Amino acid sequence: MDFSPKSSSVTPRFESTPRIKIESWAVSEVSLLSSTASILQHPDGTVLKQLQPPPRGPREMQFYSMVYAEDCSDPCLLELQNHLPKYYGAWSSPDSPNDLYLKLEDVTRHFVKPCIMDVKLGQRSYDPFASQEKREQQIRKYPLMEEIGFLVLGMRVSLTCGAVMEGP
């Protein structure tokens, strides 16, 4: 698997991130990892993650664009490429061109019964630019996060009998 910055044609700025147009019939909805996620699976081995409203969505797209920029030379960002799904730019359906998705490598595609978990790492669940009200709400919602340093947002476990269990 080649994660070198030369293998990506993604540019580092949000405004210039390429949009990938694919026929809408080629995408089928799959189970959601968490109640707030919107993930679609594409037959070409990628997943489409719906872009969140500003500022989170554009910031996430800018992050992936920066990490996978062709001219990226930052050693920390280059190391991150080894731990992130490969980023293929932004995608929008011809039927809904304003609905943007991040096109990412499906890291579970080679597994027969993948088990996945969405974990938020860190001691805070709120954005550094969040209002005081939002910070207090998040601290009340996840009181142990500061102490234990992570939060399980959702998971999907494939059982040996073929059933799928989703949570939390």
**pLDDT tens profile 74-113:** 999 999 999 999 999 999 988 989 999 999 999 988 888 8
Q: The pTM is what?
A: 0.67
Strands (E), 27-122: 28-29, 39-42, 46-50, 87-93, 96-105, 116-121
What is the arithmetic mean of pLDDT over 35-49? 78
**pLDDT tens profile 110-159:** 888 888 898 989 999 888 889 999 999 999 999 999 999 999 988 888 88
- Are 104 and 88 spatial neighbours (Cβ–Cβ below 8 Å)? yes
Domains belonging to the chain, first-starting first, are 5-105 (3.30.200), 116-167 (no CATH)
Q: Answer yes or no: is pLDDT of 160 > 90.
A: no
Whole-number Å distance between alpha carbons of 72 and 77: 8
